Amino acid sequence: MSISWPFLWHGVLPQLLAAVPMTLTLTLLSALGSALFGVPLALALGSAARWRRWPAQGYSLLMRGTPMLVQIYLIYYGLGSLIPREWMRHSWASPVLRDAFWYGLTALTLNETAYVAVILKVGLDAVDRGQHEAAQALGLSRMITLTRILLPQALAVVFPMLANEFILLLKSTVLVSTITIFDVLGTANTIRFETLRVDEPLLGAAAVYLVLVGLVTLMGLPIERRLRRYR
């Protein structure tokens, strides 16, 4: 293994760092999306009504029981093949339909929603029954009860699990490099193909991801401390 440090420093790292925003964008947007959709899914998973619970459990099983790669290919190639050519080329939605980014983001969000929902359900189940009753007795609406009373407490309970999940999501974003999205790994692979150098791009990518994960982990610690204030 012969690493050319100048090449790593000047030829590889700048490009990799330029791709970090892409990785972070994918991570943050899918995190937000999965948080948004994860709440109704978590509620459905815990619902007493079978017609709500079963589809939710089915979705959860599908997303968590199949590899992420398969889901990405299914959405990118599969969905892509179903969309009529006309829409792809000449419609107002063309920029979205032709850009691999949105397919990748969709796949990441759909998948992550299932995992987040399971965690949120654990959190919601952990909230004391008395809180539900107090909210009911006060006449608080279901929406207010959920958003102002139950979710804050649920989040405080499962925050470490969500923080861990965020890191797993960050790592999963590399899989969209297989559908021509230029995140950090995608860029590293491109450098590999173009320069035929293997060591620097891959080790450079490894270093970048290490730093990213390290930073995210450190950022989670003060939040965890602050949440303990209420307990």
Q: With contact defined as beta carbons under 8 Å apart, do 116 and 162 qualify?
A: yes
Among 24, 46, 57, 199, binds another protein (CB under 8 A): 199
Selected from 53, 57, 171, 180, the binder of another protein by CB under 8 A is 171
Task: Examine residue 222 and tell whether it contacts another protein (CB under 8 A).
Answer: no
In the bound state with another protein, the residue whose beta carbon lies nearer, of 4 and 136, is 136
- Contacting another protein within 80-139 (CB under 8 A): 80-82, 128, 130-131, 133-134, 136-139
Q: What is the token pair recorded at 74? A: 């299914």
CB 37 within 8 A of CB 52: no
Where do the H-state alpha helices sit in the chain?
5-6, 13-45, 50-65, 68-73, 80-82, 85-90, 94-98, 100-126, 129-138, 142-144, 151-172, 184-195, 199-227
Q: Are 184 and 24 in contact (CB under 8 A)?
A: no
Work out which of 18, 32, 36, 70 binds another protein, going by CB under 8 A.
70
Kindly state whether residue 48 participates in binding another protein, applying the rule CB under 8 A.
Answer: no
- Residue 223 in the binding site for another protein (CB under 8 A): no
What's the min distance (Å) between Cβ of 63 and another protein? 10
Q: Return residues touching another protein (CB under 8 A).
A: 1, 61-62, 65-71, 73-74, 77-78, 80-82, 128, 130-131, 133-134, 136-141, 144, 148-149, 152-153, 156, 167, 171-175, 177-178, 185, 189, 192, 198-199, 202-203, 205-206, 209-210, 213-214, 229-231
